[in-house]
């Protein structure tokens, strides 16, 4: 702590006193101000050292502090870092470059995703990874920045987040040598909650669209994501921006992060602004030419799109569920929420509509409909935990007969991370629909009496939609077969399902 204070004082002693005019204020008076502007990313990271905890803004590759991360990568003397970030970019860009250079000791993340190097180092025992629900990370960082030492949440109740034992570090033999600790719990209004502690970083590295020499920041579209909460929770916050504007040009009601949180600011040297998954809108003709596996997914999701009702607020999970945005009945209005900070999400863009600052939770390029809004990740998960959503559609690996869901890890083999799923299924008033293939590639059932994989949520699923049928989960009773896909029979469903179920009297082929 003392060392960090000394760094902050040293930084303050370097600040230049400049005179500027803050236009647009009621007084119209001139004002002297201290410039926080740095000339380069190399200069801006002065004081970062081995063993520091870094809070890294961005979501996938959207809104990442590209130049500051490159500057850290150039400093091979900086080692043994703890990086708090929703994920780790890609294997060859963003935070992934610091994994390649072995400068990170521990990642605190919610999602490993498709970063094969991240997964390889974790499963191979080379990297510590503390996996947390996405909304929990956002709120822990927001709380840390707000001086709140801890808070209680429903997210993770009944899972290994509560009981502990999630692998943090493997040895080379694949044995767990460090595991997560159990959480303290408390009951409020008859429901169990977990206690989570606030997170504060030695440094926060964030990226904004525009900023001024006072450190005021403005984000563009969905690039607010984790940048906004991270900016408030660094003992020293360093912001890189695409454009430095004169003090006073940003109107007070336009500023997303006040300069009080930002200690250093710079104009980024270069920006690639890569899009992790460039995804374009398909025509009906293009869909007809897709591989059979994709046609199967579209078959499932077209049925799932029938769940939408006029006026609903709905979250679509990554993977198959996000496809549903392309099949909404045009006669109704559905407000799609993406947990990385979009409400009013539209379909995939045309080539002309692509914007690197507009991606969904699956890091795919998207559009925003008229009337849509963008906001930070902590605000987004406040909507989710606050029961503002009517429904969430998620993918699944397994669902039990009582509605338990598993969709984030196969121990020692595959780890995606829980992402935002645990938060989404913990909202008690939001209907949960799971979309998935009925069986695994080897033909084994995914709908079981009891889950064998780590749980995402307990008794949280309301409906299951597969390529073969639709099940409803009836509380305290089990599964009820509601609909059949064309060509399926009750007997074929029994043969491919790993638990017993009841059959609705009006079951029929409907999709």
* Segment 266-277, tens digit of pLDDT: 999 999 999 999
Strand partners, 236: 203
Cα 483 → chain centroid? 33
Whether the CB-CB separation of 233 and 92 falls below 8 Å is answered with: no
Residue 322, phi then psi, degrees to nearest 5: -65, -20
Is the per-residue pLDDT at 5 higher than 90? no
Q: Per-residue pLDDT for 13 more than 70?
A: no
Q: How confident is the model at residue 289 (pLDDT cuts 50, 70, 90)?
A: confident
State residue 480 phi and psi, 5-degree precision.
-125, 120
Residues annotated as catalytic are 339
pTM score of the predicted model: 0.91
Do the Cβ atoms of 159 and 185 come closer than 8 Å? Answer: no
Which segments of 114-225 are extended strands (E)? 128-131, 150-153, 167-170, 176-179, 185-188, 191-197, 201-211, 217-218
Please tell me the distance from the alpha carbon of residue 157 to that of residue 161, in angstroms, as a whole number. 7
Other CB atoms within 10 A of residue 188 CB = 9
Taking each helix axis from N to C terminus, what angle separates 377-385 and 134-145, rounded to the nearest 10 degrees?
Answer: 120
Q: Are strands 104-109 and 391-395 parallel, antiparallel or unpaired?
A: unpaired
Number of Cα atoms under 13 Å in the Cβ half of residue 443:
2
pLDDT at 347: 86
- The pLDDT score that the predictor gives to residue 3 is 55
- Radius of gyration of the chain, Cα coordinates, nearest whole angstrom: 24
| End-to-end CA, the chain | 61
Q: Mean pLDDT of all residues in the chain?
A: 93
What is the reported pLDDT for 292? Answer: 86
- Which is more confidently placed, 399 or 319? 399
What is the average per-residue pLDDT within 440-467? 97
Question: Is 90 exceeded by the pLDDT of residue 113?
Answer: no
Backbone φ, ψ for residue 238 (5° rounding)? -115, 125
- In this model, does residue 9 exceed pLDDT 50? no
- Report the C-alpha gap between 376 and 238 in whole angstroms: 18
How confident is the model over 351-362, as a mean pLDDT? 96
Statement: residue 152 has pLDDT above 70 = yes
Query: What was the pLDDT predicted at 287?
Result: 66
Residue 349 half-sphere exposure toward CB, CA atoms < 13 A = 19
């Amino acid at each position: 702590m003392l060392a960090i204070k000394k760094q902050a004082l040293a930084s303050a002693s370097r600040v230049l006193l400049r005179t500027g005019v803050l236009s647009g204020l009621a007084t119209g008076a001139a004002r002297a101000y201290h410039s926080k502007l740095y000339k380069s990313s190399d200069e801006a990271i002065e004081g970062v050292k081995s063993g520091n905890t870094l809070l890294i803004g961005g979501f996938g590759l959207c809104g990442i502090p590209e130049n500051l991360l490159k500057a850290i990568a150039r400093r091979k003397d900086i080692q043994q870092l703890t990086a708090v970030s929703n994920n780790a970019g890609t294997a060859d860009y963003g935070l992934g470059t610091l994994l390649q250079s072995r400068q990170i000791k521990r990642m605190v993340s919610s999602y490993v995703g498709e970063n094969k190097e991240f997964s390889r180092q974790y499963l191979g025992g080379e990297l510590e990874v503390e996996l947390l629900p996405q909304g929990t990370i956002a709120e822990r960082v927001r709380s840390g920045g707000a001086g709140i030492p801890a808070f209680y949440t429903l997210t993770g109740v009944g899972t290994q987040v509560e009981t502990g034992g999630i692998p943090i570090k493997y040895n080379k033999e694949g044995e767990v040598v460090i595991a997560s600790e159990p959480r303290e719990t408390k009951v409020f209004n008859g429901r169990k909650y977990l206690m989570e502690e606030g997170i504060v970083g030695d440094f926060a590295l964030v990226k904004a669209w525009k900023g001024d020499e006072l450190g005021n920041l403005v984000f563009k579209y969905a690039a607010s994501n984790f940048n906004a909460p991270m900016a408030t929770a660094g003992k020293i916050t360093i912001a890189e921006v695409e454009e430095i504007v004169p003090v006073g040009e940003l109107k007070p009601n336009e500023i997303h992060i006040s300069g009080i949180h930002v200690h250093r600011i710079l104009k980024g040297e270069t920006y690639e602004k890569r899009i992790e998954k460039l995804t374009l809108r398909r025509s009906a003709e293009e869909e007809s030419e897709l591989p059979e596996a994709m046609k199967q997914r579209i078959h499932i999701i077209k049925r799932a799109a029938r769940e939408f009702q006029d006026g609903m607020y709905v979250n679509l999970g990554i993977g198959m569920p996000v496809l549903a945005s392309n099949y909404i009945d045009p006669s109704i209005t559905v407000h799609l929420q993406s947990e990385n900070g979009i409400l009013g999400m539209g379909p995939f863009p045309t080539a002309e509509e692509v914007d690197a600052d507009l991606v969904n939770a699956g890091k795919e390029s998207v559009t925003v409909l008229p009337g849509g809004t963008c906001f930070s990740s902590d605000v987004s998960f406040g909507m989710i935990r606050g029961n503002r959503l009517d429904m969430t559609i998620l993918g699944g690996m397994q669902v039990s007969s009582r509605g338990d869901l598993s969709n984030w890890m196969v121990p020692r083999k595959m780890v995606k991370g829980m992402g935002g799923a645990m938060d989404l299924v913990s909202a008690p008033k939001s209907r949960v629909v799971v979309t998935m293939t009925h069986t695994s590639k080897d033909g084994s059932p995914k709908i079981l009496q009891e889950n064998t994989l780590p749980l995402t949520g307990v008794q949280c699923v309301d409906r299951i939609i597969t390529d073969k049928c639709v099940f409803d989960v009836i509380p305290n009773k089990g599964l009820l077969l509601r609909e059949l896909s064309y060509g399926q029979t009750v007997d074929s469903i029994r043969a491919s399902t790993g638990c017993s179920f009841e059959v609705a009297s009006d079951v029929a082929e409907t999709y």
